[in-house]
Chains A and B, each alone.
Chain A
Amino acid sequence: MPMEGIYLFALLCGAMVLLAGTGIGALLVGRWSARWAVALGGGGAVAACLAGLAAAIAALALRFQKTAVLPWNIPHGSFALGVDPLSAFFLVPMFLLSGLAAVYGIGYFRPWRGRNPGRFWLSYNLLVASMALVLTARNGMLFLVAWEAMSLASFFLVVFDDEAAATREAGWIYLVATHIGTAFLLALFILLGCANGSQDFAAFAAPGGATGLMFLLALVGFGTKAGLFPLHVWLPEAHPAAPSPVSAVMSGVMIKTGIYGIVRTLEILGSVPGWCAWLVLGIGTVSGVLGVLFALAQHDLKRLLAYSSVENIGIIAMGLGLGMLGLHYGSPGIAALGFAGGLLHVLNHAMFKGLLFLGAGAVVHATGTRGIEALGGLLKRMPWTGAAFLAGSVAICGLPPFNGFAGEFLIYAGSFKAILGAGALALGGVTVLVALALIGGLATACFTRAFGIVFLGESRSPVAKAAHEVDATMRGPMLILAVLCLVIGLAAGTVVRFMEPAVGMLSGSSVAEGGGGSVQWIFPMALSSVLLLLIMAAGALVFFRRSCLAGRPMRETVTWDCGYAAPAASMQYTATGFAQPLTNAAARILRSRVEFHPPKGIFPSTASFHAETPDIARESLFDPMFRKTAAWLGRLYWLQQGRVHFYILYIVVALMVLLGWALRP
């Protein structure tokens, strides 16, 4: 192994060991001193993330591709760690966002000084370490162990605020969902292991015939973690329940390990049947459209962001699906564009969704509520948070010059290219194109609503009036993420060149070949022209305002003062009202439960309107399924006598039967 290889692995392993060590240390120290626990846990997380980030960027730049095997005394297991462009590409946002969220967490948990903060840092640091292990594991056993560690660490983070009953329920839903997913992964690795006689990724080769089944298992198993429809049910429960820095990490990077898993399976299997590509494309489309529709109907800021994660995972899946279609129909250019768009959106979503969750956390921190209907006018009181949230909102809508545009642009480019292709491929292209345009429009409506209702206008409640800007440890990470969103957007061409090796691993060709080089110049051109237009428009507005106000007196007054005698917060649009034209149009899908008491009489005294939108997959798929299963299993209650004697008797009988079976003549 060359020298830099040793340093790279040492840096990565050092980061993981540091994370685990400082996490445990924080828990122990936390009994005596909360301050030291935060310093140890938070400091360790930040230091380890910096080290890991350096290693990941170096690996990506060097196109590093190596596997190191350490001895590990587990059946079928080997401690095989590998770094290749694909792993490195996922490691970069993982370490970046985890480090920033750790800084944010140091400020976020200041009010909870009374309890042992080591509890948080232990789970947090273990979560980051296990994510790094998931992304670098090159053995099925090691991967599953890391995967479970990641699930459990994040479960304990979700139920961190375990005094609330809703949080505990969210935790259970997450735990059940994630283990159902792992069950499918177990089946996948058993199949792969049986076909190849080893659990090492290096030994995995696509066996004939069963690739479709294997990919399906991977899609269900990893899709549960990623949050693809209809397996997304845990997201809108767990993300609001978790502390905000955790929601940022979970939504920004942890669910991306699901995408990583799907992509890694693709890389291992080599080629999959055509229907798999259509399946991924279809699920991506449904996730994208339904995700954003449900986001539009939410009143809880973090729940809204969680549904928006479903939408963005859908966009990523559409990109991957397009790439797979390109591979299947022998069009490497479309494949390269699709995979590149999907992967770039992984990076982008980590940045802007992390930013938005941190922003939502700042709002919750300042006002104590997640309900958007109670907020409003926060931009004046929290200008930094507001500006950062705005940047994130623009980015997530896919508007230039922020990064969301770049990723979606690549997928658009791929779908345009696909439309020019032969029959079936054109159908895929049209699907992606139409769905992406629809999602973009709805997302813009959704985040106009989120930003407008929360930050603009007049405060709708006393808590919103009393809000204050958060401190520097929380502001800093948000601002860095906002700047990164802008930088990635502006330097998208460079970023795409950086991820070329990862795309090449999947598509076998480069983005430049795929787009005929157009992508290389279209980014700078499109972005610079848009930027120029924006600057010109802004300049013109400022000039117009100046010239209108020249020589006139100016004074500040309350919002909505123009023409109203007594402006009140209640005359503004509510969040429900703002979204109603769109949610009404999609009423069939959303099935909102409306509670409407219309005003009665000439002088109506009370009137109210309330709409609740429960999750469609949970309501009509999982709830009935689990109820049926519970009813069916309820018939076995007679086995449960409550007496230890009987339980041991069952064991004895089972042992005797097994022994008799083993010794049968």
Chain B
Amino acid sequence: MNNAIDSILIFLVLTDLILLGSSRLKNAIRFVALQGLALGLLPMLAHSQGVVWHAVLLGAGSALLKGFVFPSLMNRALRETNANREIEPFVGYISSLLIGVGVLALSFWSGARLSLPWEAASLLLVPAGLFTVWTGLFLIVARRKAITQVLGYIAMENGIFTLGMVLVEAMPLLVELGVLLDIFVAVFVMGIIVFHINREFDHIDSDQLAALKEGPP
């Protein structure tokens, strides 16, 4: 049982590193979708009483959304905007990977220091979850294309989902459903907005939105 969980978590960490180092948007979407599918198995494995209906429901719902709905939405946006690659990110890919390794170390350190009210199903759970959250946030901050930022949000949600597994026996269903709903709406809205921004300005570089800011009087 523990082996299965650990394999999923290691897969999570590896895909995070791929996300940090890859410039191809199509690949990134695929790997985030795989993350979502793999994480769908976690609730059943992490629950000490084996298969519990709410854990199954949660896993299946999240896998369905992240594995199929989100990727198809984003692939559609990709087609409509003709954006295949992330060009000129704020932070380069090699530096991103280096920062990623640093953050991974930090995640392990904080995972070890974090005192939890419950025994986690695996020692890797908290560090992997934290690392995925940080990776998602990093993608949002360091990339230019709106689609990558959406991917960042989903990766962050994956991280929150993983961290939620620590509390899977306490009350994750409602909280997790809330987060999932948030992300779903966010992706939906972003999909529409990306499409409209593209039609209006012929690009989806979110940093050019800076032109809209209120300056000093």
Q: Whole-angstrom distance between the alpha carbons of A631 and B213 in the complex?
A: 19
- Are A645 and B206 closer than 8 Å at their CB atoms? yes
- Are A659 and B110 closer than 8 Å at their CB atoms? yes
Is residue A603 contacting chain B, with contact meaning CB distance below 8 A? Answer: no
How far, in Å, is A656 (CB) from chain B's closest CB? 8
- Are B210 and A641 closer than 8 Å at their CB atoms? yes
Is residue B116 contacting chain A, with contact meaning CB distance below 8 A? Answer: no
- Are B209 and A644 closer than 8 Å at their CB atoms? yes
- Are A645 and B140 closer than 8 Å at their CB atoms? yes
Q: Whole-angstrom distance between the alpha carbons of A643 and B90 in the complex?
A: 12
How far, in Å, is B203 (CB) from chain A's closest CB? 15
Contact with A along B125-142 (1 / 0, CB 8 A): 000000000100110111
Is residue A434 contacting chain B, with contact meaning CB distance below 8 A? Answer: no
- Are B207 and A643 closer than 8 Å at their CB atoms? yes
Q: Whole-angstrom distance between the alpha carbons of A652 and B152 in the complex?
A: 13
How far, in Å, is B23 (CB) from chain A's closest CB? 17
- Are B90 and A645 closer than 8 Å at their CB atoms? yes
How far, in Å, is A653 (CB) from chain B's closest CB? 10
Query: Nearest CB to that of A640 among chain B residues?
Result: B213
Q: Which residues of A sit under 8 angstroms from B212, Cβ to Cβ?
A: 642
Is residue A521 contacting chain B, with contact meaning CB distance below 8 A? Answer: no
- Are B141 and A645 closer than 8 Å at their CB atoms? yes
- Are A634 and B141 closer than 8 Å at their CB atoms? no
- Are B213 and A641 closer than 8 Å at their CB atoms? yes
Is residue B171 contacting chain A, with contact meaning CB distance below 8 A? Answer: no
Q: Which residues of B sit under 8 angstroms from A602, Cβ to Cβ?
A: none
- Are B216 and A637 closer than 8 Å at their CB atoms? yes
**Which chain B residues in 23-73 approach chain A with CB under 8 Å?**
none
Asked, given contacts A634-B216, A663-B110, whether A642 binds B141 with beta carbons under 8 Å apart, the answer is: no
Is residue A649 contacting chain B, with contact meaning CB distance below 8 A? Answer: yes
- Are B207 and A645 closer than 8 Å at their CB atoms? yes
- Are B141 and A663 closer than 8 Å at their CB atoms? no
How far, in Å, is B161 (CB) from chain A's closest CB? 17
- Are B110 and A642 closer than 8 Å at their CB atoms? no
How far, in Å, is A634 (CB) from chain B's closest CB? 6
How far, in Å, is A578 (CB) from chain B's closest CB? 42
How far, in Å, is A511 (CB) from chain B's closest CB? 56
- Are B114 and A643 closer than 8 Å at their CB atoms? no
Query: Nearest CB to that of A655 among chain B residues?
Result: B137
Q: Whole-angstrom distance between the alpha carbons of A408 and B210 in the complex?
A: 61
How far, in Å, is A641 (CB) from chain B's closest CB? 7
- Are A642 and B90 closer than 8 Å at their CB atoms? no
Is residue B113 contacting chain A, with contact meaning CB distance below 8 A? Answer: yes
Is residue A648 contacting chain B, with contact meaning CB distance below 8 A? Answer: yes
Is residue B174 contacting chain A, with contact meaning CB distance below 8 A? Answer: no
Q: Which residues of A sit under 8 angstroms from B110, Cβ to Cβ?
A: 659-660, 663
Main secondary structure of the interface of B (DSSP, over half): helix
Q: Which residues of A sit under 8 angstroms from B213, Cβ to Cβ?
A: 640-642
- Are A644 and B206 closer than 8 Å at their CB atoms? yes
- Are A643 and B210 closer than 8 Å at their CB atoms? yes
Instruction: Identify which of A637, A640, A649, A660 contacts B141 (C-beta below 8 A).
Output: A649
Is residue B211 contacting chain A, with contact meaning CB distance below 8 A? Answer: yes
Q: Whole-angstrom distance between the alpha carbons of A640 and B214 in the complex?
A: 9
Q: Which residues of B sit under 8 angstroms from A660, Cβ to Cβ?
A: 110
How far, in Å, is B147 (CB) from chain A's closest CB? 14
Q: Whole-angstrom distance between the alpha carbons of A663 and B127 in the complex?
A: 14
Q: Whole-angstrom distance between the alpha carbons of A652 and B140 in the complex?
A: 10
Q: Which residues of A sit under 8 angstroms from B114, Cβ to Cβ?
A: 663
Q: Which residues of B sit under 8 angstroms from A651, Cβ to Cβ?
A: 137
**Which chain A residues in 615-665 approach chain B with CB under 8 Å?**
634, 637, 640-646, 648-649, 651-652, 655, 659-660, 663, 665
Q: Which residues of A sit under 8 angstroms from B141, Cβ to Cβ?
A: 645-646, 648-649, 652
- Are A652 and B137 closer than 8 Å at their CB atoms? yes
Q: Whole-angstrom distance between the alpha carbons of A642 and B216 in the complex?
A: 12
Q: Whole-angstrom distance between the alpha carbons of A645 and B142 in the complex?
A: 7
- Are A642 and B210 closer than 8 Å at their CB atoms? yes
How far, in Å, is A662 (CB) from chain B's closest CB? 8
Q: Which residues of A sit under 8 angstroms from B140, Cβ to Cβ?
A: 644-645, 648
Q: Which residues of A sit under 8 angstroms from B113, Cβ to Cβ?
A: 663, 665
Query: Nearest CB to that of A642 among chain B residues?
Result: B213
Q: Which residues of A sit under 8 angstroms from B109, Cβ to Cβ?
A: 663
Contact with A along B70-100 (1 / 0, CB 8 A): 0000000000000000000010000000000
Q: Which residues of B sit under 8 angstroms from A643, Cβ to Cβ?
A: 206-207, 209-210
Q: Whole-angstrom distance between the alpha carbons of A665 and B115 in the complex?
A: 12
Q: Which residues of A sit under 8 angstroms from B134, Cβ to Cβ?
A: 652
Which residue among A637, A642, A649, A651 has the maximum number of chain B CB atoms within 10 Å of its CB? A642
Q: Whole-angstrom distance between the alpha carbons of A435 and B142 in the complex?
A: 67
**Which chain A residues in 74-106 approach chain B with CB under 8 Å?**
none
**Which chain B residues in 173-217 approach chain A with CB under 8 Å?**
206-207, 209-217
Q: Which residues of A sit under 8 angstroms from B90, Cβ to Cβ?
A: 645
- Are B137 and A648 closer than 8 Å at their CB atoms? yes
How far, in Å, is A184 (CB) from chain B's closest CB? 29
Q: Which residues of B sit under 8 angstroms from A640, Cβ to Cβ?
A: 213-214
Q: Which residues of A sit under 8 angstroms from B138, Cβ to Cβ?
A: 652
How far, in Å, is B149 (CB) from chain A's closest CB? 8
Q: Which residues of B sit under 8 angstroms from A645, Cβ to Cβ?
A: 90, 140-142, 206-207
Query: Nearest CB to that of B109 among chain A residues?
Result: A663
Q: Which residues of A sit under 8 angstroms from B137, Cβ to Cβ?
A: 648, 651-652, 655
How far, in Å, is A615 (CB) from chain B's closest CB? 24
Query: Nearest CB to that of B214 among chain A residues?
Result: A640
Asked, given contacts A648-B140, A663-B114, whether A642 binds B206 with beta carbons under 8 Å apart, the answer is: no
Q: Whole-angstrom distance between the alpha carbons of A641 and B207 in the complex?
A: 10
Q: Whole-angstrom distance between the alpha carbons of A651 and B217 in the complex?
A: 26
How far, in Å, is A628 (CB) from chain B's closest CB? 15
Q: Which residues of A sit under 8 angstroms from B142, Cβ to Cβ?
A: 645
Q: Which residues of A sit under 8 angstroms from B216, Cβ to Cβ?
A: 634, 637
Q: Which residues of B sit under 8 angstroms from A655, Cβ to Cβ?
A: 137
Q: Whole-angstrom distance between the alpha carbons of A435 and B151 in the complex?
A: 70
Question: Given A642-B210, A644-B206, A665-B113, list of 7 further CB < 8 A pairs?
Answer: A641-B210, A642-B211, A642-B213, A643-B210, A645-B90, A649-B141, A663-B109
**Sample of 5 A–B contacts (CB below 8 Å):** A642-B212, A648-B137, A652-B134, A652-B137, A660-B110
10 smallest beta-carbon distances between A and B, as pairs: A642-B213, A642-B210, A663-B113, A649-B141, A637-B216, A652-B137, A648-B140, A643-B210, A645-B141, A643-B207
